[in-house]
Amino acid sequence: MILVFGDINLDVVIRADSQLSHGSDTTGAILTTGGGSAANVAAWAAFLGAPVAFSGRVGRDHAGDLLLGELSDRGIESLVTRDDSVPTGVIAAFVDPEGERTMVTSRGANLTFTEGHVSADAVARARHVHLTGYSFFAGAELRAAAMALLSRALEAGVPTSIDPSSYALLENYGVKRFLSDTAGCKIIFPNIDEGRLLTEADDPEAIVSALAARYDTVVLTLGSEGCIAGRGNDRWRASSHAPEVVDTTGAGDAFAGAFLAAGVARGLDPPAAAESAAAAAATCVGAMGARPPLTRRARRE
């Protein structure tokens, strides 16, 4: 089982047909769906056949009910706790004609997750634990919960992975602090901007080499140029499948979820896992929203 920990939100994705008409109306497409970087990773890993459990926090409200129902529909084991006084996290994502998104975020109950909500039993049952940088960047209590989860995984001999998640938040948090906090992780999934910040290198090969000195496996995503993965002195590249870009929201989450599903659940080597991950990211950006479709099994139910 892959245990994923972190944010779970209700996403409202808005793609306008034209520039917004300030103070008036603009037509477009609006999608309400599950979101949150960590929950997206869980959804993609489950979609690709991996057994997955998700640990996070929602409010005791209608949005929380919807998100918990979707986890169930996807066959994801829910370790989500509920907050009676803080609403579920919500993100409004505005998508431009090129597919780039601008987000307004209310993290809500995600921020009330504490060390006491970490399930020691779930860590012991897991084959792998995945976290995102957002769990480190949002205050002392949430960081303590993330650190406790990493510590328990390390003690149990369970490998872990980390996605830095946000260039701006990572820069504000501090590179040295982040590298120290995540020193026990086996896999890191930075994008090119995060990789440059973490290493002060510019060339992708140099970034991977610098991070490979700290992490067992480095998977550096390069947007339309695919990715480069490294382990020790070995390097592998996977090409982008380059579909028409509709919405870039969740592309990195899809990539990480697919890589874990292939590499952890199916035991594929890094080159094959990277190819599977690139294909999933391409599927993600070709449609609105950050989640895969529901499986056939879930739709029949």
| Cα separation of the two ends of the chain | 23
Instruction: Please report the pLDDT score of residue 299 as a whole number.
Output: 40
* pLDDT of 16 higher than 90: no
Mean pLDDT, range 76-97, rounded to an integer:
92
Query: Which among 260, 215, 208 has a CA at the least distance from the CA of 235?
Result: 208
In this prediction, residue 89 has a pLDDT band, given cuts at 50, 70 and 90, of very high
Q: What is the average pLDDT value for the chain, to the nearest integer?
A: 90
Instruction: Please report the pLDDT score of residue 247 as a whole number.
Output: 74
pLDDT digits (tens, 9 = 90+) for 131-167: 999 999 988 999 999 999 999 999 999 999 999 999 9
Instruction: Please report the pLDDT score of residue 28 as a whole number.
Output: 87
Q: What is the CA radius of gyration of the chain?
A: 18
Residues whose CB is less than 8 angstroms from the CB of residue 212 and which lie 6 or more positions away in sequence, other chains included: 218, 230, 231, 232
In this prediction, residue 242 has a pLDDT band, given cuts at 50, 70 and 90, of low
Cα separation, 56 vs 113, whole angstroms: 7
* pLDDT of 84 higher than 50: yes
Q: With the C-alpha atoms ordered 158, 217, 44, 139, is the resulting torsion angle positive or negative? A: positive
* pLDDT of 243 higher than 80: no
Task: Provide the percentage of residues in the chain whose pLDDT is more than 70.
Answer: 96
- CATH class, range 2-6+37-57+110-291: alpha beta
pLDDT digits (tens, 9 = 90+) for 24-40: 888 888 989 999 999 99
* pLDDT of 298 higher than 60: no
User: Parallel, antiparallel, or unpaired for β 160-163 and 187-188?
Assistant: parallel
Length of the chain: 301
In this prediction, residue 297 has a pLDDT band, given cuts at 50, 70 and 90, of very low
For the entire predicted model, the pTM comes to 0.91
8 A C-beta contact, residue 264 and residue 235:
no
Query: Which among 143, 37, 109 has a CA at the least distance from the CA of 151?
Result: 143
In this prediction, residue 296 has a pLDDT band, given cuts at 50, 70 and 90, of very low
Query: Which among 186, 210, 204 has a CA at the least distance from the CA of 263?
Result: 186
Name the token pair of 222. Answer: 């390069």
CB neighbour burial string for 102-127, b if at least 16 within 10 angstroms, e if fewer: eeebebbbbbbbeeebbbeebbeebe
Domain ranges across the chain:
2-6+37-57+110-291
